Amino acid sequence: AQKVTQAQTEISVVEKEDVTLDCVYETRDTTYYLFWYKQPPSGELVFLIRRNSFDEQNEISGRYSWNFQKSTSSFNFTITASQVVDSAVYFCALSLTIQGAQKLVFGQGTRLTINP
């Protein structure tokens, strides 16, 4: 079964704290891609990062960093020195190719609130 689990439904922290959003996935495929998207209050999903199953290097982009561990099927997302503008719902997604079509399997999302 292809599945993505984001066990943290809601997280609330004070501005400038570091926060980690967890993502655990299940797939039998050996080639796959993982994504993180941000959904601000306006509603549209904004692409943050893509990682393929063969690249386990961690990635840092400004205050954002991602830790991909194939051994534990996890792809966690850390925000360092959080800001109020980081408040949003964050989705982790697993991308599969089925009969030539790309399909995204989303986790339930984590609602992150950064308090001033």
Partner 1 sequence: DGGITQSPKYLFRKEGQNVTLSCEQNLNHDAMYWYRQDPGQGLRLIYYSQIVNDFQKGDIAEGYSVSREKKESFPLTVTSAQKNPTAFYLCASSIWPSGGGENEQFFGPGTRLTVL
Amino acid identity of residue 81, one-letter, is A
Total chain residues near partner 1 (CB under 8 A): 30
Is 35 a binding residue for partner 1 by CB under 8 A? The answer is yes
Cβ closer to partner 1: 43 or 62? 43
16 forms beta bridges with: none
Please give the DSSP secondary-structure letter assigned to residue 38: E
Distance in Å, CB of 11 to partner 1, minimum: 14
- Contact assessment for residue 13 and residue 115, using Cβ atoms and an 8 Å cutoff: yes
Report if residue 9 touches partner 1, rule: CB under 8 A: yes
Q: Is 12 near partner 1 (CB under 8 A)?
A: no
Q: Which is nearer to partner 1, 43 or 116 (CB)?
A: 43
* Dist. CA 100–CA 81, nearest whole Å: 41
Among 13, 22, 24, 33, binds partner 1 (CB under 8 A): 33
* 59/45 Cα distance (integer angstroms): 21
Q: Does 102 bind partner 1 (CB under 8 A)?
A: yes
Strands 46-52 and 59-61 come out as unpaired
- Tell me if 83 contacts partner 1 by CB under 8 A: no
